[in-house]
């Protein structure tokens, strides 16, 4: 039982000039699909073993995953933002995070020059996980052995293919791994706080035997690919996360307008009114930053720290908003029957997830230092 | 209200706890460590989360229930500070669900009967409650009346012959879906509101009474219930406190609020301290010391926990002295509740990815504590109360 | 209101500033760096803090004043984005007092005359304002009516013969105690309120007008004045906008609010960014890098400054597009104001003891920014406005 | 022009058992004096070159400074707390911080076995500053040369005597310095943010020549004396600081009850009501912590980190309260004619003053680590 939103489930238009009509048309299509799947479907996936494979096929068949490609490969940063702003409303960070990983892993495969695998990933035929962690590759005769662990990888529990991200001398090696190979071990989380509808897992590679051709990028090239990909991924992540927080806000507002205490709607109490107004301001600011970052990404004008700051603030503000929205629901916010509990768990989960605020903050601080012409990095 | 039991004011030293309380604390802690702590993960991981019903009797044998009740009625003799020890050690036990279930039984259901009931009612229901043979609950909150108690719609209408006919719905009732005996607030006048509310005792087998369990974000082992009363017929002796307390239900509820809120503040500060300590332990284990960024954050939290704890003990002291403590109790409840969430949230974050995927205790600490700023009067309501006492 | 000038909506690209604005920015920055920045410490340290009155003419020559006014009236031709550049560079200049004084002249006093005045009034007062020959101010706020504009008590009563007699008090009027020409809001009907307010032009030499300077925590070089009007007789041609705008004063004030608030948000975000950068520079200079605890704190602030800046530019964009931007402008004003204080507070702390004893610029940054959440509509009022636009 | 407080200027009684009747009598005497001096006098000292010497003589003649002594020397922790809770209401951190320094420097001199000097300090005949900083002592024939700098010392601008705190091999040496000696240089702050009515100064010792007998404590003994003194000083500091914040709160409450906007007192707006309630809760908590810490100090039951946490929170909460109180005053809060601007400046000043939050936080964190049986210190 989700509390029905009183307002139409649309994000406000942010400007007349950043998105084209094609972008808005895409947004509308995605929105219709999300309204069908999101309202009823996605929350149920938490209780049914995770999102079903046909979700991936639908998303892929629309070509949506390809927005994550570089412009030269037919991708579109702004289309991606518009799309993730709608997919973020699926009411399930589990599926959203998995789809984000799929889109960006597929794009990475394209850029690393593995068109055949990439195409199947874009088509939704292969489910891909991107495996960053404490990994190493060592030669074994003609072959290579991949070993190490990588925690909390999206899609990993049921992935067909992994792209292993392995530090090498000059940068990063990327290796394509078939998960049917011996030595691949994926363990779903014993106790997931949020992302419950997803297929994340901890992965261990126990001397997985690869051929030299499975390594599709190396060194500085691999590092550059990963860095560019990380910027895009963080942008899309922020677009989706902020959209999820807006949805929680819309729900809370609708609830506060109809729930009465002491004879009047609780939305009319000034403290609640200001809380809703303040959250709207925070989310509007974040969304403006998402769009600004997107624009600068298209112009290749990003600076160090930009996407780290975006992700840090997106995750933290979203978590704070979800928490305040839960409070606005009173006792009902504490039941599993309302959506806000999931928004709260998902947002808290994302905040402490793989990225890690400490690492993000360090990246931002290094950016500040370098702007001021000093610093350690 | 001659038979109503109000806690007597105490002449206390500044130090509240005595050596006997330290002894009790050690005993309760040992019981909690043996009987609750090792099982909680498993109890929560079940499809239908919960703890064995026999735990009520175990807890009774361990002496957890009787500290506000005379020995003649199965209690341990009145010692509110001993009750505080029990509250604190249950909070330290790391399961909001178990603490809530045992607490709702000892502080609400059975305690209402003890405090407001007639001697006959006490004799009938208090001893088995003290022995953990029956499980009790208190039903006040309704779907459309949370903090706003006066607006409940459940009604009891006196029938020719003296029986009462009870109709209505209650929600968020801890122990509600498996209690044997429930104290239920109902309107008993046409006008309703503050001056027309009465408390009744309902037996789970009374025809017309049904309940369902509500699935909750935290407190997952407690049986939080939604209750329905459809023409439940109650004999006259179910009117809690008898004719003398007819229409006095609101006053009774208000009288008990302070203790409930002190309990929540005590529990909140103890939980916050424990979670913070565990966070320190985790970081020291991992890194040999608290890493730099966390040093600042945890130092700030430590200072705040100290202050809120001092406020809570101050409120308790005033209350036990028999002074008006509404302001301080409401302050402590507001601050301790939010702080328990803040601390759990920070320590979850300190765990990193393993916190949100593989560490049930800290997840539970956060989920359980999240009720604190909602239950027993939201933080917003607490600030309203504080404001009123300040003449604002 | 045929002669009233409303800013025309612009068809803009996503990028607002054009190369000509970059050129202007460099020029204004050079002027600020030469004419303001080196002198501010000294200007503030005087017994009677203040800057030389000649700065208005200097600023005029540097082209700071004319960007919302036609060239025929001494302006530079209307270019709101150029005006934003001026606002931002003044904010970057590190003196809230100077920025406020120049701003109150260019955005309030003279701009009201330009925007709402008759052609005759424009011709009389706008060119000398643009040239910095006269100093202007706007008087709306009163001791008992701050944000609550409709409740002002200053009254103007039409006399036989057509003159007006003005009585009342204004307070917190920037430039008020040394302005030559002041636009003054007064009630002109018995009922007062929204529909009975009119704007008048007062000359400092009008008999019955007196003013005193108010000593303030920050903005110390601006002449913040308390104004008194005791039977000040105004000829009919002092009614701003003529008979057409009789009783329309409230609407005029409301029309100008959005631009005032956008300016404050632009200034607040630019000041926050500059102060944050200086804080980073200080720490890097002292320690070679940002020390650990500060890394987290400044990273969080950096991310917040980025977000609030993006919101501010978004609000500006909507406004310049001619769209309804009340919500976004109010959000930006609220967030940027508080953030500017938060950042200055953190960077003061980063200085340690030398910050509070021997570093005027960061002290001034904090004192000056502290007005932002109060002036131009408090943060509380901004949230009220936002709430209203959200249907709350 | 201070806005008149509507409420009687009394702190609420915190309990019936911690303070004795003697303590309460002392509190009442101090309160009467503060109400005479504080309402009109103290704020004026900001503009008249700092507090006048007869303030010290008055305070000293009442014996109030002696509360800071150890119990064995006739001091009384609880009397000190009661007294500083009243002196904190002097509306001028400048004088309060100087008097705190005088009391604790005098007590330190007593404990270091310099009764003659100590007695004159307690009597208010000698104004003393305690000089901690980057100092060193080196022998020069029979004499010792003291050199180095010490920033932001209370009383230093007009002090007669300094107690120099100099690191030595086994701990700390304490040296008594006559400020008329050649080589003593005190520079008042060029630009004081707060504490404007006080006599703080940066001090430089340029080879000040001392006799061996001027060094009154050394090594471990000196360190132990300083540690004990620091705990007492922080406690009294917190008592005074929290009291100043309470006073700002009382002023703001009185203002909010009489100031109208939109036709009603601004105190009746829920956001303001909750802000005042929340501040009252924060200050009540702090005051309870002050009393709890005082009690444990009398029982010698303090643990590491205790007084650091008290001071950290007292300074931070007081600054936050002063800021919110300023906001409640609206435009009037921004004028120099209302007291809240001084409370705001003083509180911000104290927060970043000599102690330094970073050092306090580190002390607290070390305490946490040692409780958990690990850590670096």
Across the interface, whether the CB atoms of D271 and A269 are under 8 A apart is answered no
Cβ partners under 8 Å of residue C251, min gap 6: none
Cβ partners under 8 Å of residue C316, min gap 6: C16, C84, C262, C266
| Residues of chain C found within 8 Å of residue B297, distances taken between Cβ atoms | 296
Dump the DSSP string for A77-125: HHHHHHHHHHHGGGS-HHHHHHHHHHHHHHHHHHHTT-HHHHHHHHTTS
Q: Calculate how close chain A gets to B188, using CA atoms only, in Å.
A: 20
Q: Which residue of C has its CA nearest to B296?
A: C293
Averaged in consecutive runs of 10 residues, what is the pLDDT profile of chain C (392 residues)? Answer: 74 81 97 97 94 98 96 95 97 96 97 97 98 98 87 96 97 97 96 90 98 97 97 98 96 92 97 97 95 92 98 93 92 98 97 93 98 96 97 94
What are the structure tokens assigned to B225, written together?
């219930």
Q: What residues form DSSP beta bridges with D166?
A: D173
Best of C153, C338, C342, C356 to substitute, by most chain D Cβ atoms within 10 angstroms, is C356
Helix (H) or strand (E) holding C210: strand C209-213
CA distance B353 to A351: 9
Interface of chain C against chain D, CB under 8 Å?
45, 141, 144, 146-148, 151, 171-172, 214-218, 291, 293, 341, 345, 348-349, 351-360, 363, 366, 370-371, 373-375, 378-380, 383
Q: Calculate how close chain D gets to B234, using CA atoms only, in Å.
A: 43
Confidence band for D10, pLDDT divided at 50, 70 and 90: very low
What are the structure tokens assigned to C22, written together?
């970059």
Residue with tokens 């008590």: C153
CA distance A214 to D312: 57
CA distance A85 to A89: 7
Q: What residues form DSSP beta bridges with D150?
A: D203
Residue with tokens 């302050």: B331
| Residues of chain B found within 8 Å of residue D291, distances taken between Cβ atoms | 310, 314
Answer whether C340's CB lies under 8 Å from A310's CB: no
Answer whether D197's CB lies under 8 Å from D342's CB: no
Orientation of helix B249-287 relative to helix B326-351, angle to 10° = 30
Residue with tokens 């920070």: B346
Confidence band for A372, pLDDT divided at 50, 70 and 90: confident
C-alpha torsion angle, residues A359, A364, A366, A371 (rounded to 10): 170
pLDDT digits (tens, 9 = 90+) for B316-326: 999 988 888 99
Cite the active site residues of B: 107
Query: What is the model's pLDDT at position A356?
Result: 62
In terms of DSSP bridges, do strands B181-187 and B197-203 run parallel, antiparallel, or are they unpaired? antiparallel
Task: Map residue D377 onto helix, strand or coil.
Answer: coil
Query: What is the model's pLDDT at position A261?
Result: 92
What are the structure tokens assigned to C360, written together?
């005027």
Mean pLDDT across the stretch D248-265?
96
CA distance C243 to C252: 14
What are the structure tokens assigned to B244, written together?
């003398």
Across the interface, whether the CB atoms of C289 and A285 are under 8 A apart is answered no
Distances (CA, A) of D197 to A320, C46, D52, D340: 42, 18, 10, 15
For the entire predicted model, the pTM comes to 0.95
In terms of DSSP bridges, do strands A264-265 and A260-261 run parallel, antiparallel, or are they unpaired? antiparallel
How many interface pairs between A and C have CB atoms less than 8 angstroms apart?
146
In this structure, what DSSP letter does residue D67 have? G
Cβ partners under 8 Å of residue B312, min gap 6: B262, B265, B266, B268, B269, B332, B336
| Residues of chain B found within 8 Å of residue A327, distances taken between Cβ atoms | 373-374, 378-379
Q: Which residue of D has its CA nearest to A273?
A: D271
| Residues of chain C found within 8 Å of residue D200, distances taken between Cβ atoms | 357
Say if residue A129's pLDDT is above 80: yes
Whose CA is closest to D313, among D345, D361, D253?
Answer: D361
Cβ partners under 8 Å of residue C183, min gap 6: C108, C109, C112, C113, C136, C137, C138, C139, C199, C200, C201, C202, C240
**Residue C22 annotated in active site:** no
Q: Which residue of C has its CA nearest to A362?
A: C295
Answer whether B201's CB lies under 8 Å from B232's CB: no
Confidence band for D356, pLDDT divided at 50, 70 and 90: low
pLDDT digits (tens, 9 = 90+) for B25-83: 999 999 999 999 999 999 999 999 999 999 999 999 999 999 999 999 999 999 999 99
Answer whether B58's CB lies under 8 Å from B110's CB: no
Across the interface, whether the CB atoms of B352 and A189 are under 8 A apart is answered no
Q: Calculate how close chain A gets to C67, using CA atoms only, in Å.
A: 25
* Cα angle value A194/A199/A200 (rounded, 5°): 70
Answer whether D289's CB lies under 8 Å from D313's CB: yes
| Residues of chain B found within 8 Å of residue C291, distances taken between Cβ atoms | 292
Cβ partners under 8 Å of residue A138, min gap 6: A144, A145, A147
Q: Which of residues 245-304 of D touch A (CB under 8 A)?
A: 269-271, 274
In this structure, what DSSP letter does residue D356 have? -
Q: Calculate how close chain B gets to C306, using CA atoms only, in Å.
A: 22
Best of B289, B295, B296, B298 to substitute, by most chain C Cβ atoms within 10 angstroms, is B296
What are the structure tokens assigned to A207, written together?
């001397």
Across the interface, whether the CB atoms of C296 and B296 are under 8 A apart is answered yes
pLDDT digits (tens, 9 = 90+) for B179-194: 999 999 999 998 888 8
Query: What is the model's pLDDT at position D319?
Result: 97
Answer whether D278's CB lies under 8 Å from B383's CB: yes
In terms of DSSP bridges, do strands D184-187 and D264-265 run parallel, antiparallel, or are they unpaired? unpaired
Across the interface, whether the CB atoms of B306 and D309 are under 8 A apart is answered yes
Helix (H) or strand (E) holding B8: none
Task: Map residue C391 onto helix, strand or coil.
Answer: coil
Out of C304, C328, C383, the one facing A274 most closely (by C-beta) is: C383
pLDDT digits (tens, 9 = 90+) for B231-275: 999 999 999 999 999 999 999 999 889 999 999 999 999 999 999
CA distance D363 to B307: 17
Mean pLDDT across the stretch D71-83?
93
Say if residue A277's pLDDT is above 90: yes
Q: Which residue of D has its CA nearest to C358?
A: D191
Whose CA is closest to D239, among D94, D110, D83?
Answer: D83
Across the interface, whether the CB atoms of D274 and A269 are under 8 A apart is answered no
Dump the DSSP string for D94-132: HHHHHHHHHHHHHHHHHHTT-HHHHHHHHTTSS-EEEEE
Confidence band for B12, pLDDT divided at 50, 70 and 90: low
Distances (CA, A) of A291 to A85, A96, A210, A297, C309: 11, 19, 41, 10, 12
Answer whether B146's CB lies under 8 Å from A261's CB: yes
| Residues of chain D found within 8 Å of residue B310, distances taken between Cβ atoms | 285, 288-289, 291-292
In this structure, what DSSP letter does residue D177 have? E
Distances (CA, A) of C218 to B51, C274, D44: 62, 18, 19
Task: Map residue D76 onto helix, strand or coil.
Answer: coil
Mean pLDDT across the stretch A152-163?
96
Best of D47, D191, D259, D364 to substitute, by most chain C Cβ atoms within 10 angstroms, is D191
Q: Calculate how close chain D gets to B125, using CA atoms only, in Å.
A: 38
Task: Map residue C133 onto helix, strand or coil.
Answer: coil
Confidence band for A48, pLDDT divided at 50, 70 and 90: confident
CA distance C352 to B362: 36
| Residues of chain A found within 8 Å of residue D274, distances taken between Cβ atoms | 271
Helix (H) or strand (E) holding D280: helix D270-298
Q: Which residue of A has its CA nearest to B44?
A: A191
Whose CA is closest to A204, among A160, A162, A144, A142?
Answer: A162
Dump the DSSP string for C276-289: HHHHHHHHHHHHSS
Rg (CA), chain A: 21
Task: Map residue D167 onto helix, strand or coil.
Answer: strand
CA distance B84 to B92: 12
Across the interface, whether the CB atoms of D330 and C378 are under 8 A apart is answered yes
| Residues of chain D found within 8 Å of residue A267, distances taken between Cβ atoms | none
A206 touches chain D (CB under 8 A): no
Best of C293, C297, C301 to substitute, by most chain B Cβ atoms within 10 angstroms, is C293
| Residues of chain A found within 8 Å of residue D270, distances taken between Cβ atoms | 269-271
Query: What is the model's pLDDT at position B125?
Result: 98
| Residues of chain C found within 8 Å of residue A291, distances taken between Cβ atoms | 310, 314
Distances (CA, A) of D362 to B279, B292, D308, D349, D356: 16, 9, 9, 20, 10
In this structure, what DSSP letter does residue B181 have? E
Whose CA is closest to C221, among C177, C191, C185?
Answer: C177
B216 phi and psi, to 5 degrees? Answer: -125, 160
A301 phi and psi, to 5 degrees? Answer: -110, 20
Answer whether C22's CB lies under 8 Å from C134's CB: no
pLDDT digits (tens, 9 = 90+) for D291-340: 999 999 999 999 999 999 999 999 999 999 999 999 999 999 999 999 99
Q: What residues form DSSP beta bridges with B136?
A: B181
Q: How far apart are the first and last CA of chain C?
A: 32
Across the interface, whether the CB atoms of D376 and B303 are under 8 A apart is answered no
Out of D260, D331, D352, the one facing C356 most closely (by C-beta) is: D352
Of the residues C107, C206, C231, C300, only one is catalytic, namely C107
Across the interface, whether the CB atoms of B292 and C292 are under 8 A apart is answered yes
């Amino acid at each position: 039982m989700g509390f029905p939103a009183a307002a139409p489930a649309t994000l406000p238009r942010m400007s007349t000039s950043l998105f084209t009509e094609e972008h808005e048309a895409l947004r509308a299509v995605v929105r219709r699909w999300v309204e069908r799947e999101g309202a009823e479907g996605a929350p149920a996936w938490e209780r049914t073993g995770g999102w079903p494979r046909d979700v991936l096929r639908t998303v892929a068949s629309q070509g949506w995953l390809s927005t994550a490609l570089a412009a030269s490969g037919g991708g579109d940063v702004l289309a991606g933002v518009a799309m993730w702003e709608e997919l973020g409303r699926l009411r399930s960070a589990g599926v959203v995070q998995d789809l984000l990983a799929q889109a960006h892993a597929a794009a990475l495969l394209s850029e690393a020059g593995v068109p055949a695998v990439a195409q199947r990933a874009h088509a939704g035929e292969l489910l891909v996980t991107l495996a960053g962690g404490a990994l190493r590759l060592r030669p074994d005769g003609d072959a290579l052995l991949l070993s190490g662990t990588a925690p909390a990888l999206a899609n990993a529990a049921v992935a067909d293919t992994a792209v292993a991200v392995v530090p090498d001398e000059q940068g990063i090696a990327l290796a394509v791994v078939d998960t049917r190979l011996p030595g691949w071990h994926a363990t779903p989380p014993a106790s997931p706080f949020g992302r419950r509808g997803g297929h994340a897992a901890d992965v261990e590679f126990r001397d997985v035997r690869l051929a030299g051709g499975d390594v599709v990028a190396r060194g500085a090239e691999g590092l550059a690919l990963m860095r560019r990909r990380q910027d895009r991924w963080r942008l899309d992540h922020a677009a989706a996360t902020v959209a999820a927080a807006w949805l929680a806000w819309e729900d809370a507002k609708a609830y506060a307008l109809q729930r009465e205490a002491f004879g009047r709607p609780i939305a009319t109490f000034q403290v609640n009114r200001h809380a809703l107004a303040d959250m709207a301001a925070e989310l509007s600011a974040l969304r403006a930053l998402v769009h600004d970052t997107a624009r600068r990404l298209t112009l290749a004008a990003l600076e160090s720290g930009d996407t780290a700051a975006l992700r840090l603030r997106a995750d933290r503000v979203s978590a704070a908003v979800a928490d305040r929205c839960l409070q606005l629901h009173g006792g009902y916010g504490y039941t599993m029957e309302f959506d806000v509990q999931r928004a709260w768990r998902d947002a808290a989960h994302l905040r402490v997830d793989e990225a890690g605020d400490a690492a993000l903050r360090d990246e931002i601080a290094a950016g500040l230092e370098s702007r001021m012409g000093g610093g350690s990095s | 209200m001659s038979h109503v039991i109000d806690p007597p004011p105490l002449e206390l030293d500044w130090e509240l706890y005595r050596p006997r309380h330290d002894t009790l604390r050690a005993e309760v802690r040992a019981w909690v460590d043996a009987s609750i702590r090792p099982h909680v993960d498993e109890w929560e991981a079940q499809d239908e989360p919960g703890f064995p019903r026999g735990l009520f009797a175990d807890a009774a044998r361990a002496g957890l229930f009787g500290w506000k009740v005379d020995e003649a009625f199965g209690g341990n003799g009145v010692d509110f500070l001993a009750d505080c020890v029990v509250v604190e050690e249950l909070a330290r036990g790391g399961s909001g669900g178990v603490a809530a279930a045992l607490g709702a039984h000892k502080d609400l259901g059975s305690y209402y009967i003890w405090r407001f009931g007639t001697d006959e009612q006490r004799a009938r229901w208090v001893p088995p409650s003290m022995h953990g043979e029956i499980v009790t609950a208190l039903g006040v909150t309704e779907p459309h009346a949370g903090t706003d108690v006066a607006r409940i719609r459940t009604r009891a209408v006196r029938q020719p012959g003296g029986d009462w006919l009870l109709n209505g719905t209650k929600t968020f009732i801890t122990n509600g879906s498996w209690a044997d005996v429930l104290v239920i607030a109902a309107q008993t006048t046409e006008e309703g509101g503050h001056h027309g509310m009465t408390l009744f005792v309902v037996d789970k087998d009374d025809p017309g009474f049904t309940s369902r369990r509500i699935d909750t974000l935290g407190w997952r082992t407690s049986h939080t219930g939604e209750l329905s009363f459809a023409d439940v017929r109650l004999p006259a002796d179910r009117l809690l406190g008898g004719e003398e307390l007819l229409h006095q239900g609101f006053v009774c509820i208000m009288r008990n609020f302070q203790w409930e809120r002190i309990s929540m503040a005590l529990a909140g500060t103890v939980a916050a301290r424990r979670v913070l300590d565990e966070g320190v332990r985790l970081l020291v284990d991992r890194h040999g010391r608290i890493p730099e960024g966390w040093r600042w954050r945890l130092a700030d939290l430590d200072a705040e926990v100290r202050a809120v704890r001092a406020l809570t003990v101050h409120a308790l002291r005033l209350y036990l002295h028999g002074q008006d403590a509404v302001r301080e109790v409401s302050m402590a409840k507001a601050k301790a509740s939010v702080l328990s969430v803040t601390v759990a949230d920070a320590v979850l974050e300190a765990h990193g990815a393993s916190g949100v995927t593989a560490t049930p205790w800290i997840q539970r600490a956060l989920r359980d504590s999240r009720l604190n700023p909602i239950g027993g009067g939201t933080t917003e309501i607490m600030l309203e109360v504080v404001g009123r006492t300040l003449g604002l």
